[in-house]
Structure 1
Amino acid sequence: MSSTDKNNSVDVQDFIDSRPVSRYQWMILGLCFLVTAIDGLDTAAVGFIAPALRDEWGLTPAQLNPVLGASLLGLMLGAFIAGPLADRFGRKTILLVSVLFFGGWSLASCASQDVFSLTIMRFLTGLGLGGAMPNAITLTSEYCPQRRRSLMVTTMFCGFTLGSALGGVVAAQMVPAFGWRSVLFLGGVLPLLCLPFLYVFLPESVRFLVQRSAPAARISAILQRLSGQPLPSNVSFDIHDGIGESSPRQSPIRQILSGSHRAGTLLLWSSFFMSLLIIYMMTSWLPILVKDTGLSLSQAARVSAMFQVGGTLGAIFLGGAMDRFNPFRVLVCAYIAGAFSLMLIALFHDQFTLLVLGVFSMGFCISGSQVGANALAAGFYPTAMRATGVSWAHGVGRIGAVLGTLGGGWMLGMGMGFSGVFTLLMVPAVLASAAIFLMSLRYSRSQAQPSLAVH
């Protein structure tokens, strides 16, 4: 089907689908990759500096809990706030504000002198982090051809897992030399340095511009950069995307919780909740759990980094598989494999090689599946509600992240052993798989239906 018909009407998604991926689209993906990489480094920073923070301030696991949980609470609230704002004011605008917010407060947090002040600073940092990530996902997805959307979105999101892994490497080198504050300083300076480049080179979502009836000349200019060819004059634009019906005049929050989207929204929330519970418990407590087995701090950091490395490779592999096969089935199988990886860690954590293999596999399957779920959510919602749908899924997921982080401290405080922690985590992995399976029964054969136009 041609993207431009005899009446000079251009379907934006058909226009993108009918052309090879351009350098302009790769630039957008690269800029969003950069944002998520810095987001990942900043989000994981406290987990990697937690052992040094515990030793310097003489903290118990229970006393560390507020510091570890504060940024996650901010991430949750930031996601809930940023999604509806992005569907109203634009993905780029809210993304830039979010980057400025988390960079500034991360820089301020390196001056904290006690648990209370560090907790407040990390909460404020989390508000910005919570708004940046979902909007980077949404913006990237809206410039992807459907045939490569899952792979491109998961590749972009690999910035987060690579940034988190870099946080472990950076912490292992910087904390002994400069102290734990240096990691937070780096997490504040990097986003502020990137902000001017994002402002100049990152475009607003062309699909958002169509949905908001932006001037046709502005939309044409972006599409010409995508194709490298001029468009006809007096052209009009429309979009067909997502699953089910949508209306730009209705609240996006109401839309994701009503009609054909309600069941999918609730099941996505369940999956995000369960998988982020596992991921953030590991991000926050895995270095301490591994160190308590008798390994050194540097060994614990390297083993923990394997979780992020596995997540990066898993995201790319699963993203490609989702574009080739039924994406629901791919994620179901991956979550089940993740549950078996957790069992491997629980049974053989005293053998270093098997511990490394198990942590890598857990990251590949569970963290990789969560990245794939981001692509699934971005494709599930139409443009009018996409930022809200993706952001609110992240917001609900952050509730699981907070509970996972606090639960890790509680389990350690109760004396639960290494094996017990990982055996218990098999339950949310299986439940995440079940949620995606139920979603597949409802939506595997759904087709995109909505249409919006601008002249």
Structure 2
Amino acid sequence: MQTAGSIQAQMVGRSGVVATLALCFIIALLEGVDNQSMGVAAPFVARHFGFSPAQMGLAFSIGSLGLLPGAMLGGRLADRLGRKPVLIYSVVVFGIFSIMTAHIWDANSLIFSRFMTGLGLGAAMPNLIALVSEIVPDRLRRTAVSFMYCGIPLGGAIASAIGALSVEGGQWRHVFYVGGFAPLILVPLLIFLLPESRNFLASTVQKEGRIRPAAISTVLFGERRTVLTIALWVTFFFTLSILFFLMNWLPSLLVRQGIKPAQVGVIQVLFNVGGAVGAMGFGWLMDRTRAWMVVLCTYVGIVVALVVLSQSGALGMIYLGAALAGLFLIGAQSILYGLSAVYYPIVMRGTGSGSAVAVGRFGSFFGPFAAGELLAMGFAPPLLIGAAVPLIVIALISTLVVVKRPVVKN
């Protein structure tokens, strides 16, 4: 006898695959706008309200801190309620509070609005990963996740372009309006066009209509997953620490060095366009060649990019360093999201990938916050960027541990 879940699963055809990939890509695009919006507007927000570097560092970090419980809660609820409803609620939350960021009145209102925006953004990502990885054949899972994820750097490029065109004239709120109203407009399309994961519907154990996911400890550490989970957590933490440090602080650091805001906008666009290429390219390679070679080249590339950025004074070299940093850092994050989708079984994938994303989000809090404190202590920007190199080496070693593990089939 067929269950209701199995019947619904069979109803998801090619149109469902296209709708899932397209809608998840658009959500990732809008998440990229929100991720980058604070970094784009930061120099102008600080000037408008008279915020100190320490206050801005806290504002950067509190948004990232909101991502942590959001990712863990969003992933867990995805295994209980389904990927689609949790994703829709997440989109509503980050849309509303992005708009609120445009109407802050002091440091406390800024901190609250960024925390809540981060909560919604964090809850969305595990569901995006689960939906796109479960809608395609096993051999294309990492490619599908990478396709979805390349929307994030493209969204960052859009935020940078909006910033370059508007914030110089004092209209820094525009980037938050785009990042807020667009997700809310998308919600009806998600309700009517986005199918639930067919593999989730077919694989979830149900009793009296209620889904019973495995205990969190079993998901993360059962069936010999302890080393895998810890290695994923370590590499997510350090990779996202460096990525969010650059995403949030690079514009302000460049302005401090005397680079014009319009040139900073170009640098951010290069960073994000490079990231889009890296996100798609490295994910595609992970499905078609030896994973450890892709990982090694990616993290070595990050080190090269950081060295170029920390040692460059000429504008052309800064442009190059930013493009390389986006290519390899965002490419590395795309690889990690793809990995989190292939090492946990379907019925616990939301919890497993959500925990890794949550730990990474803690890293995205730690990186900007630590940078703000070091800058307040008088550290020079080049020294700050160069100090990230040892953290990347740790992330490389941990990722190599992960890719030696066998993947789980859908």
Q: SS of 1:59's equivalent?
A: coil
The answer for the alignment partner of 1:243 in structure 2 is none
1:412 partner amino acid:
L
Which of 261, 277, 298 does residue 313 from structure 1 map onto?
277
The answer for the alignment partner of 1:421 in structure 2 is 384
Percent identity of equivalent pairs = 32
* Kept in 2: contact 1:271–1:433 (CA 8 A): yes
2:331 partner amino acid:
G
The answer for the alignment partner of 1:35 in structure 2 is 27
Which of 45, 61, 71 does residue 63 from structure 2 map onto?
71
The answer for the alignment partner of 1:220 in structure 2 is none
In 2, Cα distance between equivalents of 1:182 and 1:314: 28
* Kept in 1: contact 2:219–2:351 (CA 8 A): no
In 2, Cα distance between equivalents of 1:133 and 1:439: 20
The answer for the alignment partner of 1:25 in structure 2 is 17
Distance 1:193 1:447, change over 3 A: closer
Which of 368, 389, 395 does residue 432 from structure 1 map onto?
395
Distance 1:254 1:279, change over 3 A: same
1:108 partner amino acid:
M
Give the 4+ runs in structure 1 shifted more than 3 A: 21-24, 447-450
Cα deviations by residue, 1:13-44 (Å, 9 ceiling, x for unpaired)? xx99xxxx934312211100011111111121
**1:182, distance to aligned residue in structure 2 (A):** 2.4
The answer for the alignment partner of 2:196 in structure 1 is 204
Which of 283, 286, 290 does residue 322 from structure 1 map onto?
286
1:390 matched to 2:382? The reply is no
Q: SS of 2:104's equivalent?
A: coil
Count matched residues.
401
In 2, Cα distance between equivalents of 1:340 and 1:125: 33
In 2, Cα distance between equivalents of 1:178 and 1:77: 33
Which of 260, 264, 277 does residue 296 from structure 1 map onto?
260
Cα deviations by residue, 1:61-87 (Å, 9 ceiling, x for unpaired)? 112122212211111110111111110
* Kept in 2: contact 1:315–1:372 (CA 8 A): yes
The answer for the alignment partner of 1:145 in structure 2 is 137
- Once superposed, what is the RMSD of the aligned Cα atoms? 2.3
1:407 matched to 2:399? The reply is no
Q: SS of 1:259's equivalent?
A: coil
Q: Which runs of 5+ in 1 are unaligned?
A: 1-6, 216-246, 451-455
* Kept in 1: contact 2:161–2:269 (CA 8 A): yes
In 2, Cα distance between equivalents of 1:35 and 1:75: 16
**What TM-score comes out, normalization by structure 2 length?**
0.92
1:371 partner amino acid:
S
Q: SS of 1:380's equivalent?
A: coil
The answer for the alignment partner of 1:331 in structure 2 is 295
Cα deviations by residue, 1:123-155 (Å, 9 ceiling, x for unpaired)? 111111111122111111101112222222101
In 1, Cα distance between equivalents of 2:205 and 2:390: 46
1:421 partner amino acid:
L
Distance 1:448 1:53, change over 3 A: closer
The answer for the alignment partner of 2:219 in structure 1 is 255
* Kept in 2: contact 1:333–1:433 (CA 8 A): no
The answer for the alignment partner of 1:87 in structure 2 is 79
1:371 matched to 2:334? The reply is yes
In 1, Cα distance between equivalents of 2:248 and 2:300: 23
* Kept in 2: contact 1:211–1:248 (CA 8 A): no
Cα deviations by residue, 1:205-261 (Å, 9 ceiling, x for unpaired)? 11110122579xxxxxxxxxxxxxxxxxxxxxxxxxxxxxxx965214432122321
* Kept in 1: contact 2:16–2:195 (CA 8 A): no
